[in-house]
Amino acid sequence: MVGIIMGSDSDLPIMRQAADVLKTFDIPCEVTIVSAHRTPERLFHYAKNAHQRGLKVIIAGAGGAAHLPGMVASLSPLPVIGVPIKSSNSIDGWDSVLSILQMPGGVPVATVALDGAKNAGILAAQIIGSHDAAVQEKVVVYKKKLEEEVAVKYRKLEAEGYEDYPR
């Protein structure tokens, strides 16, 4: 249901987070490598045919010049979530962030934080949940769990005071 693509296998430690999140929501995904610069024909084929293969969302991670998410968005009718990745050839990740964030009008890419594949997975689940009640309920439960985890922390902080709260 969700395609997770990346420019290189070196991106997998980050992009795996999206797949792991989708697994918790029972959303099937495929994970593969599609390089915008080294396999342009594969990129065109993947992006143009993804919706015909049943995908609903594409999460595309890339470092450096990070053209993958934008190129996919230019070719596919599906929502694309870009994950900028701080790579070995990156300028602290800013080149990747700006390459994905600064898309021209008409070619939107939802962009998450640098190395933010976990949030990309959650956003993909929310997109799918907007038309799938079972997935939406799982997102509601997930958000309630987040709320409960924070409540434990603020209650502890308020009870102990900030001076005695563990550092």
10 is in an annotated binding site: no
95 is in an annotated binding site: no
Tokens of residue 147, six digits: 């709320």
8 is in an annotated binding site: yes
CB-based burial, 134-157: b 16+ in 10 Å, e otherwise:
ebbebbeebeeeeeeeeeeeeeee
Report CA dihedral (124, 127, 132, 137) to the nearest 10 degrees.
80
- The residues facing 114 across adjacent strands are none
Report strand pairing: 57-63 vs 80-85: parallel
Report strand pairing: 29-33 vs 2-6: parallel
Amino acid at 99: S
Sequence ranges of the binding site for substrate: 8, 11, 38
Sequence ranges of the binding site: 8, 11, 38
